[in-house]
Amino acid sequence: MAISIIIITLNEIDNIENTIKMVRNSAKISSGSSIPIEIIVSDGGSEDGTIEIAKKLADKVEIGPSGRYLQLNIGAKLAEGDILLFLHADTLLPKGAILRIVHKLKDPYIIGGGFKKKWNWKPYVKRSSFLKFVNYFWEAMGNWLVRIFKSFPGDNAVFVRKTVFEELQGFKPLWICEDFDFMLRLKRFCRKKLIFNGGREGKGRNYESTRTSQLIFRICFPHILW
């Protein structure tokens, strides 16, 4: 199971090197080897040196028009992996992230998910008790809302099976909230599949209802990884 990591950039010279290095580290396992990955940088026309750094560190770099949905879809078209992981240039994957994705997706009923948000505070925030409280509050609130609604914003490092992404025809041409729109369509996709497949497995109304409820819980609510 190979994973394609798609990083979207636009003048991200301060972040791109560290982000790519963290992706490489997240694919390492205890034996010293690494899980197969490819890193694709989909750039929107950076002029600050981002592209030059990306060409040295990433596996593929594509330069195209700016716009998150455009860059995400362009990166996905270049991907050769079975799993697509969409990453913002200022989002760092935790240690062992790739292994956790592979482990979760061994279950065929899980089609995608995302990671818990943990921000890296600026120095001036860390020096202020009030600002630390405000930022920790919003971080905790954001993660709590993700758990409740099971919908991930793009900076939660959303991942999905490539076959499902292609069936949903990728991200819609929206200039904002393309990530939430994709997550809503992902849930509808799951429920539609259950309607068509549930009757074939059933042994009566009660059995079908119970079985479908279990599948909805397992499939339609994406998994949060820590």
Give the number of residues written for the chain.
226
DSSP 150-193: ----GGGTEEEEHHHHHHTTS--S-SS-HHHHHHHHHHHHHHHH
pLDDT for residue 215 is more than 90: no
Q: Is the pTM of this model over 0.85?
A: no
pLDDT, one tens digit per residue, over 127-150 is 778 877 887 787 788 777 777 777
Which pLDDT value is given to residue 211?
44
Closest CA to 226 of 83, 105, 113, 106: 113
Distance of CA 117 to the CA centre of its chain: 12
For residues 156-180, give the mean pLDDT: 92
CATH (one of 3.90.550.10, 3.40.50.1970, 3.30.2270.10, 1.20.1250.20) for 3-225: 3.90.550.10
